[in-house]
C-alpha cells in the first residue's frame, strides 16, 4: 500500500498511528503544505486532500476516518457488536463535523504560516470557547470509562486522539481542567506499538 501523508496533519497521523498499532505497512508519500509534492500529488487525491491510502489493487481511498475503518477490519480496533460499531461511528462523525473543525482549525491558524492572516484574536477566542465545550463533552464521557466505546481501544479513540493530543501544544488549549481526557491520552500512548506524531 501507499499512503499519501501530510506529516503535520492529525488526519494523516491517525492513519499512521492505527497502522503502527496493528502492524500494517505502507510506503509514505509525504505531501506537506508549501511542498511542491502536494500540488504534484493532487491528481492522485480523489478529494484533493491527504490522507489517501492506495490499496494493493490500486484503489485510492480518501477520508481519514474511512481509511481507519478499512484498516481496522479484522483487528481489535473495530468492535464486534453492531451497536458498538455504530457508537464508534458516532464519535468519528462527531470528530469530523465538530471537533476537527474547531480544535484542528485553531491549531492550524496558530501554526501554519499560510493560515496566519486568518488567526485574528476574535477568531482564536471563539475557537477557544467552542473547543473547550467540545473537550468538556469528551471529559464527561470519559469520566467513568477508559475508552470512548466499550471496554477496549477502538478506531474512535485513535480518531479523536489525533487532534486532542496536540490540543495543548498546537491548539493552545489548556487540558488541566480535563483529567479524564489526560488519563485517556496516556492510555492511548501506552498501547503496544504506539507511534508519536
Ligand X SMILES: N[C@@H](CCC(=O)N[C@@H](CS)C(=O)NCC(=O)O)C(=O)O
Binding of residue 160 to ligand X (CB under 6 A): no
Binding of residue 154 to ligand X (CB under 6 A): no
Binding of residue 6 to ligand X (CB under 6 A): yes
Binding of residue 49 to ligand X (CB under 6 A): yes
CB contact at 8 A, 174 and 182? no
Tell me 80's DSSP state.
S
CB contact at 8 A, 109 and 127? yes
User: How many Å apart are CA 5 and CA 75, to the nearest integer?
Assistant: 22
- In the region spanning residues 8 to 47, those forming contacts with ligand X, defined by CB under 6 A, are 9, 11, 38
Q: Which is nearer to ligand X, 180 or 197 (CB)?
A: 197
β-bridge pairing 52-54 and 60-62: antiparallel
- Work out which of 22, 75, 96, 111 binds ligand X, going by CB under 6 A: 96
Binding of residue 166 to ligand X (CB under 6 A): no
Q: Which is nearer to ligand X, 11 or 154 (CB)?
A: 11
Alpha-carbon separation of residue 125 from 8, 47, 130, 177 (angstroms): 23, 30, 9, 18
Residues near ligand X, by CB under 6 A: 6, 9, 11, 38, 49-51, 63-65, 96
Amino acid at each position: 500500500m501507499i499512503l499519501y501523508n501530510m506529516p503535520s496533519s492529525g488526519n494523516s497521523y491517525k492513519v499512521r498511528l492505527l497502522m503502527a498499532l496493528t502492524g500494517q505497512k505502507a510506503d509514505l508519500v509525504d505531501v506537506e503544505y508549501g511542498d511542491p509534492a502536494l500540488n504534484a500529488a493532487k491528481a492522485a487525491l480523489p478529494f484533493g486532500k491527504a490522507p489517501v491510502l492506495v490499496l494493493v489493487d490500486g484503489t485510492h481511498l480518501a477520508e481519514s476516518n474511512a481509511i481507519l475503518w478499512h484498516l481496522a477490519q479484522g483487528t481489535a480496533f473495530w468492535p464486534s457488536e453492531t451497536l458498538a460499531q455504530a457508537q464508534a461511528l458516532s464519535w468519528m462523525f462527531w470528530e469530523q463535523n465538530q471537533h476537527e473543525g474547531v480544535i484542528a482549525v485553531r491549531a492550524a491558524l496558530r501554526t501554519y504560516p499560510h493560515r496566519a492572516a486568518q488567526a485574528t484574536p476574535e477568531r482564536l477566542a471563539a475557537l477557544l470557547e467552542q473547543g473547550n465545550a467540545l473537550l468538556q463533552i469528551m471529559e464527561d464521557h470519559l469520566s467513568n470509562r477508559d475508552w470512548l466505546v466499550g471496554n477496549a481501544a477502538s478506531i474512535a479513540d485513535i480518531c479523536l486522539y489525533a487532534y486532542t493530543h496536540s490540543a495543548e501544544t498546537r491548539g493552545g488549549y489548556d487540558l488541566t481542567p480535563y483529567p479524564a481526557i489526560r488519563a485517556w491520552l496516556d492510555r492511548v500512548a501506552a498501547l503496544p506499538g504506539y507511534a508519536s506524531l
